[in-house]
Amino acid sequence: MGSACSGELNDSNQELLAVDKAEAVQPHLKGTAVSTNTLCEVFRQCDANNDNFVTRIELIKACKSHPEIAQMLGIPENLRDSARAQFEQVYQALDADSDRKVSLDELRAYFVRAGFQVTDD
């Protein structure tokens, strides 16, 4: 585990929508095989400042520059008003412990919950 206290908590966007975390899974992706290595790579691409946590801002930016990541996570590529609610839903599903940042473990757990076959190779 480790030093999770070094991260900053300066998300400017702190509104919390009441959503059902279970709703955010992507049924059409169920059964897709994804390796832990791939998840690590996705996580690194999202974690722009390399602090081992992905914030909302980082995830929004990652989805804009990497449409394939947005697609995997079930996030609309074009995050305009209506899509923001969907983004929030996915982000809160990712952020299982609601500390406003997503760890690699949380990302992995999200994929498992979403029905992906996460392999360890």
Instruction: Give which of 77, 113, 71, 68 is closest to 92, Cα–Cα.
Output: 113
Q: Which is nearer to Ca ion, 14 or 82 (CB)?
A: 14
| Least distance to Ca ion, CB of residue 33, Å | 25
Asked if 97 touches Ca ion (CB under 5 A), the answer is: yes
How far from 3 is each of 6, 19, 54, 92, CA to CA, in Å?
A: 6, 29, 15, 22
Asked if 23 touches Ca ion (CB under 5 A), the answer is: no
| Least distance to Ca ion, CB of residue 121, Å | 26
Asked if 88 touches Ca ion (CB under 5 A), the answer is: no
> What stretch of H or E contains 36?
helix 36-46
Among 41, 68, 77, 99, binds Ca ion (CB under 5 A): 99
Residues 38-67 binding Ca ion (CB under 5 A) are 47, 49, 51, 53
Residues 6+ apart with CB under 8 A from 37: 121
Q: Which is nearer to Ca ion, 88 or 95 (CB)?
A: 95
Q: Which is nearer to Ca ion, 49 or 119 (CB)?
A: 49
Residues 6+ apart with CB under 8 A from 79: 60, 63, 64, 87
Q: Determine contact, residues 28/112, Cβ cutoff 8 Å.
A: no
Site for Ca ion, rule CB under 5 A? 47, 49, 51, 53, 95, 97, 99
